[in-house]
Amino acid sequence: MDQLSAKQARVLDFIKEHLRQAGYPPTVREIAAKLGLAGPNSAKKFLDILERKGFIRRRAGCSRAIELRDAPAGRAAMMLPVLGVIRAGEPMLAVENSTERIAVDPSLARGEGMFLLRVKGDSMIQAHVMDGDLALINPQAEVARGDMAAVLIGDEATLKYFFKEKTAVRLQPANPAFNPIMIQKKDAGQVLVIGKVVGIIRKME
């Protein structure tokens, strides 16, 4: 890869920082505003240079279509699907929507089939999970006792700490204002673990 000028390096560093903090790349307008460039066209020229020099690649037809090419192990950022909304509170209907995709550092998305769920509610706030966050999910049918998991109860989904007790499954919130959800052993077949929460991505204002 060719060397970068100081200004080109600033643009690349901002893209990396935005990806690290927000979980997705910035738009050309955000790049121009943050770095004091003349406007979106000026930012686009820098992106053209970074792509030509092999530091990024872009996909047509998307305002946030920047992928890093110098990520760990030489891999570009992973584009993971957002598969709908999951409630951090009372369970709610899990509506899948795989049209949205967000760039995630490949060091975080190491498993096969990983995806993101958008969090609604504040029952996990003491676990630093807030309304609007994206939960990074490793799909798996079983989790260890006390793991934070995405769980389906019938057709409804929720995000909680998972405990399998002698007579029940306990889904434990991380907010004293919420009570645990208890599913008795005879009804345990209605509970399906979607996967383990392995990370939380938050957009920083």
Active-site residue, 98 included: no
Asked whether the beta carbons of 190 and 128 are under 8 A apart, the reply is no
What is the 3-state secondary structure of 58-98?
ECCCCCCCEEECCCHHHCCCEEEEEEEEEECCCCEECCCCC
Structural domains of the chain in order of their starting residue, each with its CATH number: 6-70 (1.10.10.10), 78-201 (2.10.109.10)
Which of 34, 53, 63, 123 is flagged as catalytic? 123
- C-alpha distances in angstroms, 32 versus 5, 7, 68, 102, 103? 17, 12, 18, 21, 20
How do the pLDDT tens digits run along the chain, 205 residues long?
A: 457 888 998 999 998 888 777 767 888 999 999 999 989 999 999 999 999 888 888 866 565 678 887 544 445 567 788 888 888 887 776 666 666 777 777 777 777 788 999 999 999 999 999 998 999 999 999 999 999 999 998 888 899 999 998 889 999 999 999 999 999 988 877 889 999 999 988 865 5
Asked whether the beta carbons of 119 and 129 are under 8 A apart, the reply is yes
C-alpha span between 162 and 149 (Å, rounded): 6
pLDDT of residue 61: 57
For the whole model, what pTM was predicted? 0.62
Active-site residue, 123 included: yes
C-alpha span between 157 and 191 (Å, rounded): 10
SS3 of residue 44 by DSSP = helix
Query: In the chain, which ranges are E strands?
Result: 56-58, 66-68, 78-87, 92-93, 101-104, 115-120, 134-139, 148-153, 156-164, 168-172, 181-184, 191-201
Which of 63, 98, 160, 196 is flagged as catalytic? 160
